[in-house]
A and B are shown apart, each in its own frame.
Chain A
Amino acid sequence: MSVGNLSANYQEAIAMIMFAIGFSNLLLQKNLIKKIIGFNIMDSSVYLFLALKGYIAGHHAAIVTDGVQSVDAYINPIPSGLVLTGIVVSVSVTALMLSLTIRLYSRYHTLDLDRITTEVKKGGF
């Protein structure tokens, strides 16, 4: 197993480490708000990874300036569009999760998901 392009792709490696941090937060934290923060870190790292895919060294942003339309002048526009879509999805899901958290808190007065599960099993509806 060689190190290969790890030093050249160091930004993508950092995105992967952020992904793992977010993933483990989402999985291991007991507090619901911290889980949501973990999910946001995870999604942001995926968008960072995707945006890095589009970059070409020395080229400019994909807006036609001075009528120049050659491939050598601009970065790849596709990942930018995909990231736009992804950010909207991330915002929507965060709003949904936060409103679920508010509802659960107003019912059970705790943010700990394990305690909420126990209360649900004990108390029923």
Chain B
Amino acid sequence: MTHDFVQNFPLFCIILTLFSGPCCMILRGRWARYVNLGVISAVGVMSLFVLLDVCARGGSYVYMMGHFPAPWGNEIRVGPLEAFMALFFCIIMLLSMIGGAPQRLRKIEASKENLYYVMVNLLLSSLLALIYTNDLFTAYVFVEINTISACGMIMICQNGHTLEAATRYMIMSLLGSGLLLLGICFLYGLTGHLLMSNIKEAVAQLVAAGTYHAPLMVAVGLMCVGLAIKSALFPFHSWLPDAYGYSTVSSAAILSSLVSKGYIFLLIKIFYRVIGFDIICNSKIINIFFVFGIAGMMFGSISAARETNIRRMIAFSSVAQIGYIYMGFGLGTGMGVLASIYHILSHAATKSLLFVSAAGLSESSADSRELADLTGAGYRNASAGMAFTVGALSMVGFPLFSGFISKILFAQAAVNQSGKMLPTLIALALSTILNVIYFMRAVIVIYTPLRSIPAERREGYRRIRMSTYPQITVVFGCFVLLNLVLGLMSQPIVELCARGLGMFG
């Protein structure tokens, strides 16, 4: 069965991003930047074509990587959900890279700038491979690429904070990788397959026959715990505030929006395509996710309310949002997973907006990140102030923006669950109140007039007009538009995700 030319695009995307890594290494800084932006745009356009083609076709297809069909060779599987996620990640990455460009040029040494773009390109390739792959071991190899490139992005500007954060991040990630690989080995030992669809059939047979129950549960537990550690679920989040708080803007935006989401997408694949959603729901692992998700929501929000550094405050808010996503998994229904997927999209669009606008506010306040020094920054940098307000409202769950829709989806998913409805709704309400406390406090501070600060602390404050950095203004506009689209036109997107999720298994 020959493929149309459009159907080859996922392969071209992955190979193009992998190839652009060595390309950026031999080029100098400026050319590497152009190559990077060009590659991300090209991959975005190709993903758009793939999405249109798959929606027109009405089903997912399987693409053989090589001359031999799976399970003897590798294969990738392309469906509506995968193509849409690829397109969305490309948009977020493009906007983050353009939005963080001025600060990046100031902070990174000129001789090492091209290595940063190598990291970003290979991060994109690992995200694409994790989205499209149908093979567990390929997923492991690209998880490692994801980890190493994320570490490279954290430590590109080498000060004490980022080095220590990168070390903590690597230690936590290696724990997670070890557990994930061990889980994959156990599963391989029980089923003899590495292809996800084949593993699912074998696991269904094992569960029906009742043999090898203990090792199967051990394997599932190891894989889920390993991926949860890597995506910074509640007790394993200690690296997150420092890593997001002190790295460059584009690093923080991409890390918070995309890196953890790749692992969560792989976890969704393991739920649906490797083990089978019913078996997962019957095991106790989702209860553990539920408890730690709610604990993460509470702890993240409380810690964020105590922070005075704006970047660390946004980073702690990320901990809370990842808790939301795991709570959605813990509900144990298709609607819960759909709410988590929508929250992935909403969080990616909002969190990168918050980081880029916080950088704009800091720049107009003598590069300080303390909330007290940011008084009146909304008047000095109008576009950043407005963008920050939009992001804060979306995080809080104000109607019109994307956060509102994801909270509604969570509440709808929780309604018919016998034991879990009450804790979910209480946790949603409490965390919304906490979100309001710290986000609205920040918005009020940035819009307080400056007269209350004595004149000597105002050194270095400058006004940044919209024409100083025109590309950043455009980026803010695109982010706000994305948020509005996700908030107002959520129905077709939710239907697309639901249809894709139905074809996912």
Contacts and interface: CB of A to CB of B under 8 A. Distances in A.
B148 A100 contact: no
B164 A117 contact: yes
B160 A23 contact: no
B478 interface: no
Interface in B185-204: 185, 188-189, 194
Interface in A44-67: 46, 49-50, 53
B274 interface: no
Interface residues of B, number: 28
Contacts of A79: 188
A96 interface: yes
A117 B161 CA distance: 9
A96 B160 contact: no
B164 A116 contact: yes
Given A46-B178, A100-B155, A107 B163 contact: yes
A107 B160 contact: yes
Contact of A53 (B147, B171, B189): B189
B182 A104 contact: no
B163 A100 contact: yes
B65 to A, nearest CB: 15
Contacts of B181: 46, 86
B170 A93 contact: yes
B167 A43 contact: no
A123 B160 contact: yes
Contact of B141 (A46, A89, A97, A117): A89
A108 B159 CA distance: 11
Q: B159, B161, B175, B178 — which one has the most chain A CB atoms within 10 A of its CB?
A: B178
Main secondary structure of the interface of B (DSSP, over half): helix
A113 B160 CA distance: 12
Interface in A78-125: 78-79, 82, 85-86, 89, 92-93, 96-97, 100-101, 103-104, 107-108, 113, 116-117, 119-120, 123-125
A85 B135 CA distance: 15
Contacts, number: 80
A30 to B, nearest CB: 12
Interface string A1-25: 0000000000000000001001100
Interface extent on A, as a size class? 35 or more
A23 B185 contact: no
B495 interface: no
A89 B144 contact: yes
B164 A50 contact: no
Nearest to A32: B167
B167 A104 contact: yes
Contacts of B164: 104, 113, 116-117, 120
Contact of B167 (A27, A86, A100, A124): A100
Nearest to A107: B160
Nearest to A81: B137
B160 A124 contact: yes
5 contacts: A32-B167, A53-B185, A79-B188, A92-B148, A108-B160
Which 3 residue pairs across A and B have the least CB separation, nearest first?
A125-B159, A120-B160, A89-B144
Interface of B: 137, 141, 144, 147-148, 151, 155, 158-161, 163-164, 166-168, 170-171, 174-175, 178, 181-182, 185, 188-189, 194, 242
Given A100-B166, A113-B164, 13 more contacts: A39-B171, A39-B178, A53-B185, A79-B188, A89-B141, A92-B144, A92-B148, A93-B144, A97-B170, A100-B155, A120-B164, A124-B161, A125-B160
